Structure formats: C-alpha cells, structure tokens
Structure 1
Amino acid sequence: MLEVFLIDGPITEEFAAENPVVSRTIEIKGSNTLADLHKIIFKAFDRQDEHLYEFQVGGNGPQDPNAKRYCLKQAFSSSAPGPTGDLSTTSIATVGLSIDDAFGYWFDFGDDWWHQIDVINIQDLAQSGKYPKITKRVGASPPQYADFD
C-alpha cells in the first residue's frame, strides 16, 4: 500500500488553504510496473493531459540527486546522469522498496508536479480484485493547469 502526497506544483494560494493535505492511498501489486503506478496516480489526481514523468527511488525522498531514476525512454538526457531503468518494464517488486521508504514522483517537467510516495504496507499475497486501485482520497485534486489571474 502506498500513500501519494502532492508536495509541490502550480497551485493557487486559495487551493492550498482549502486543501492543506492532498494525498491518495493506492494498492498495487509487485508485478505491476512503475508505468502502471503512474497511470493510477494520474487517475487519482484527476489529470487529463499526459506529460513526461519519472520516479526517483532509493534516495531520501523526492528530488534526491542520489536516487535511482526510472524514466520513459524518450525522457533520457545526455547531460544528466543516466536513468536506472525504463519504467514501462520495471516492476514495483524489483525496485527494492521496504515499509517506511519514501520515494519521489515528478510529473510534467514544465509545471513540475512533485509527489512523495510513502510505502505504508507490503503484503505477500494480494486479495482478489483489480490492481492497482485507489482506496482513499484526502483533499481535492488541484486543476492540472491553475488559473492564477
């Protein structure tokens, strides 16, 4: 079980005041990929337009330059340290997560939506049903493109 917190992005002061915490709880199987995790986060935060994204695992949370980076192949840059792997083929089980770990998810490299993902629980066997799935929502979803008048 993962808890995904929105920690930064283009939100208005009014939205932030009305929604001091914006998080989603997600259940996902170890066999699901990081791309599957992106898709359920995308859905959980009611986004409409796809953009580039990456996960940062094994550091001290989001934006840690020492974390392993998992990106889409087209997001690879020759100027930055190379990514660890392709998130479309990397399963959740293979990135080495433990309970109480925190890792980063960066969506839209222009608007810079930053999320911290906390590992709440890891179970050996999943209950029946479709995964991944959203099990809890705290706070409203911010508009993907804020209107800053």
Structure 2
Amino acid sequence: MTPTQARYLAFIQKYIDLHGIAPSEKEISDAMCVMPPSVNQMIKSLEKLGFISRSPGVARSIRIILPTELVPKWKRGGEIVISEATKKLPKRSLQPAMPLCTFEARLYDGPFGDEYRKRLCIRYVEIRTDQTLSDLHSILFEAFGMRVDAEYEFNIGGKSRFAKESKCFGLPEFQAKRKEFLGRSESYAGNAETTQICDLGLKQGQVFGYCFDFEHDWYYFLWFTKIENATETVEYPRVTRRQGKAPPQKSSGGDSSRN
C-alpha cells in the first residue's frame, strides 16, 4: 500500500467513525487538497485493490472492507499511522493483459485568443479498452491542466460534430446545459460512466470529438493512433506526452492558469 492510498483510507475511516456515513468525493477532495478527478481515480483504484466497496449509483456508499487492524489510523493534525502488515499490502491490482489505446488529443476551439490559435496544444494519453469514457474525460481533464470540472461529451462516428450519424456520449444530468448552450435536445447514445472504450468500435486512425464545458465550448479532436497490450504493472489511464501550453481555463470564478 502506498502512503497516498493509506491517507485516503485513513480519512475515509475517520469520517465514518465520526459521522456514521461515508464522505462524499467532494469532501475527500477538500481534505486531501486535490482535484475531484484525482479522487475519483483513487477511489476506483482502492476498489480494484479490494480495499473498499461501493454500491453503484448510490452516494456516500464507500465501505472499507480491510480487516480493522490493517486500516491506517488518522491522527490529530493529519498524521497517518500505518502498520507493517498494511505496508506489505499490494500497491496496485495487476490487471490481465488488456488492449491499450493511445489517443492524440488536440485542442481545436475554445474561448482563447489568436496567440493560442497559432500554437499546437497536443496531449498523448493511454487508456485500456475496459475503461470508460468517463475515465477518458478524467485523464484529458488532467492532461490539459483543467482546474474546474464541468459537463462534457464525446462525439463519435460522424463526418461533423452534430452530423445525424454522429453518436454522442455524456451523462444524463448534462442534458439541460447541453440544450441551453449547444442547442441540442436529443438524448445521448450512451452513458459515459458505463460505456467502455471497447464498446465504441473504434478503428485505428479514427478521429472523434470531445467537448468540455458547454458554456465556454472547449472542443478537442482525438486521433486513435495505436493499439497494443497494456503493461500489467502500470496504472491507466495516463498522460505520456505534452506538447504546447494550454490556454487558461475560463470559468464562472474567473480564469486559472493551465500547463
């Protein structure tokens, strides 16, 4: 078990002990001083390792399933006490060899000036085919240095963004803002949290779109550049390369710098 994993588990257990219910991801985010997508990825990792369990679709349903003596202790001031037995627990679950996709993501449009339009802003990410579009969104959020999470969708299979043959994937709760800011009222073809990369039928070389923050309409093109076997000891998804500086993200709270 890594120190970071231990810190998450210690906080979750301490919160349950104090309140009788599990913390929300937002509360974990605030306590750990990290962005919500990072919390989401850590919770998924802890679940795959068999350290916690959750009820799908149920808020505050995290339950620690480690024996009590192996759960790290959260002390006053945020100090963590980890037993020697806990330190020997696995740091990551070893996944069977799975197909691994590499995507080249390019910033195409958004609320930024000409000084950025003249530059290339590209990120390369790797993701297993058993992972979801929601996982892909989380790694793109990290790759482009976004600071404030917002609604998103993927546009796949059409010759243009809103072509009739294009299939869009997002979350049901995004529909209202989608209609307000993008003028689209049709239902999504699938839920991004449950649609796996392998469900999309992508072919190597295929290009599709990714829209983030409907109000400001950041738009990216993703090229499916390579497929190979995932490495068992590597945690995916991950960013493998960055090219060019990303424009600052606009939000209701103002701009914030990005890398």
Q: Same fold (TM over 0.5)?
A: yes
SS of residue matched to 1:122: strand
Tell me which protein shows more helix as a share of its residues. 2
Question: Quick one: percent identity of the two aligned structures?
Answer: 35
Residue of structure 2 in register with 1:41 after alignment: 140
Confirm or deny: 8 A CA contact 1:106 1:113 kept in the other structure: yes
SS at 1:28's partner residue? Answer: strand
The alignment partner of 1:119 has SS state of strand
Q: Which runs of 4+ in 1 moved over 6 A?
A: none
Does structure 1 residue 127 correspond to structure 2 residue 231? yes
Matching residue of 2:216: 111
1:3 to 87, 97, 104: 104
Aligned residues: 144
Give 1:58 shift.
1.2
1:14 and 2:115 aligned? yes
Q: In the alignment, residue 158 of structure 2 is paired with which amino acid?
A: G
In structure 1, how many angstroms separate the alpha carbons of the residues matched to 2:162 and 2:236? 27
Cα distance change on mapping 1:14 and 1:41 into 2, 3 Å: same
CA 1:23 to 1:64, structure 2 compared with 1: closer, same or farther past 3 Å?
Answer: farther
Q: Which residues of structure 2 form unaligned runs of 5+?
A: 1-101
Q: Separation in 1 of the partners of 2:132 and 2:165?
A: 22
CA distance in 2, matches of 1:5, 1:117: 6
The answer on whether the counterparts of 1:60 and 1:103 sit within 8 Å (CA) in structure 2 is no
- CA distance in structure 2 between the partners assigned to 1:126 and 1:38 by the alignment: 19
Q: Which structure: larger Rg?
A: 2
Please say if residues 105 and 124 of structure 2, whose CA atoms lie closer than 8 Å, have aligned partners that are also in contact. yes
The structure, 1 or 2, with the larger RCO (C-alpha pairs under 8 Å, 6+ apart) is 1
CA contact (8 A) 2:158 2:167 kept: yes
Helix, strand or coil at the partner of 2:108? strand
Output the TM-score relative to the length of structure 1: 0.89
Deviation at 1:16, TM superposition (A): 3.0
What letter corresponds to residue 111 of structure 1 in structure 2?
A: H
SS in 1 for 2:239: strand
Task: Identify the match of residue 54 of structure 1 among 144, 149, 153.
Answer: 153
Residue number in structure 1 paired with 2:197? 92
Aligned CA RMSD, in angstroms, stands at 1.8
Aligned 8 A contact 2:172 2:188 in 1: no
Indicate the residue corresponding to 2:38 in structure 1.
none
Query: Are 1:61 and 1:103, in contact at CA under 8 Å, matched by a contact in 2?
Result: no
> Which residue identity lines up with residue 230 of structure 2 in the other structure?
A
Within 5 A, what are the aligned runs for 1:16-31? Answer: 16-17=117-118, 20-31=119-130
